[in-house]
Amino acid sequence: MSQIERIYHIKQRLECHAIVSREQFLSDLNISLSTFKRDLAYMRDRMNMPVEFDHDAGGYRLPESSGNTVQELPGIWFSADEIYALLTMQQLLAELQPGLLSPHLQPLADRLHQVLEGPQLSAKDIKTRIRLLRVNARHVQLNSFEPVSNAVLRRRQLRIDYANRSRHQTESRILSPQRLLYYRDNWYLEAWCHKREGMRSFALDAITHAEVLNQTALDVPESELDAVFTVGYGIFSGGNLSWATLQFSPDKARWVSKESWHPQQQSHFDADGNYILTFPYSDDRELVMDILRHVPEVTVLEPVALRDRVMFMLEEGIARMKSAIK
């Protein structure tokens, strides 16, 4: 019988009987007195369960409270490995967006640290031994993130002031938030825009003010959300779909063939060892940037419009480079 099973048994016996003798516990659990003492110490120190020994009654009991109830142990039991996994998730979440769930998760994290603390490994080592290195991440203000996440989870409409970077102006919108998306080290809100009467994606770092409204948010079925936001390549949505076909050199293929560019992608190797990748897209802005990262090991086979766009960007870049070094 594991320690957790013994502790659960001790808890049950104490709840069912006013007094339980030491001999009863030792007999039921088939353990030594020293093991029983360690289990009691664990319950008192780590689980905060106030087990008392009543000298007059000659046994152990749980103290009565004003409400005639006793303090409960956690209803779900975790192994050491599971606790490490939970703490790791909490640490990663804190790194992704400080303050997202900290007020709610920190008490649990503190208890998990307390349960797991030992001479071999401290759970606090997770903070220093696991790093999350974010690249090109844009800072999101907590006073914007909290109301947005609150509205998403509580299914409430949201009023935002949104900085449109392409037009250099701030717009006010009423949204029915649907999902939060963490994509390429940045947060986005997928929402129904009541002004545009359609689905839109909003970068959270561009939200300068957010206010949760009392009105219930419009619910959009998940299948419709996926049809808008995940059918094409990358973060940009809407528009008619086109299919891109890219050819990667044999050297680059060793890496790219292991990557997932789109859920509907199709791929194969040709006779020369080139990797041929085909997938849908609706907006070429992000796709062009990703293609340029692989130059000169990539060739755009189709469509011609995409190939021309990549060539234009390359020629424009070369021209600016030459101008800068004159």
pLDDT in tens, 221-252: 988 888 888 778 887 766 688 999 999 999 99
pLDDT of residue 184: 83
85/47 same-domain check = no
- Do 32 and 91 lie in one domain? The reply is no
pLDDT number for residue 247: 98
The residue with greater pLDDT, 325 or 237, is 325
The CATH number of residue 167's host domain is 2.30.30
Q: Domain end: 71, 94, 129, which one?
A: 129
Q: Where are the alpha helices (DSSP H) in the chain?
A: 3-16, 22-29, 33-45, 80-96, 102-116, 125-129, 142-154, 222-229, 250-256, 284-293, 304-324
235 found inside a domain: no
- Domain of residue 84, residue span: 80-129
More confident residue, 5 or 21: 21
pTM for the model stands at: 0.63
179 and 114 housed in the same domain = no
| 117: pLDDT strictly greater than 90 | no
Residues 44-54 have pLDDT tens digits of: 887 777 888 98
16-39 pLDDT, tens digit per residue, is 888 999 999 898 889 999 999 998
Question: What pLDDT was estimated at residue 89?
Answer: 64
Q: Total domain count for the chain? A: 4
| Together in a domain, 120 and 152 | no
Tell me, rounded to whole angstroms, the distance of Cα 309 from its chain centroid.
Answer: 35
Mean pLDDT score, 93-111:
62
Contact 274, 247 (CB under 8 A): yes
On whether both 292 and 313 belong to a single domain, the answer is: yes
Q: How far apart are CA 267 and CA 277, in angstroms?
A: 5
Query: What is the predicted pLDDT for the residue at 207?
Result: 93
Let me know if residue 300 belongs to a domain.
yes
Whether residue 280 is contained in a domain is answered as yes
Q: What is the mean pLDDT of the chain?
A: 82
Looking at residue 275, which CATH number applies to its domain? 3.30.70
Q: Alpha-carbon distance 213 to 67, whole Å? A: 38
CA-based nearest residue to 237, from 221, 226, 245, 250: 226
DSSP conformation class of 248: E
Backbone angles phi, psi at 130, to 5 degrees: -120, 120
What pLDDT was estimated at residue 7? 83
The single residue listed with the structure tokens 């090109």 is 136
- Going by their DSSP bridges, the two strands 198-203 and 207-216 should be labelled as unpaired
Confidence of residue 73 (pLDDT cuts 50, 70, 90): very low
Q: Tell me, yes or no, whether 122 and 169 share the same domain.
A: no
Q: Is 201 among the domain residues?
A: yes
Q: What is the pLDDT of residues 262-278, one digit of tens each?
A: 989 999 999 999 999 99
What tokens does 225 get? Answer: 């959300």
Structure tokens of 103?
A: 């007020």
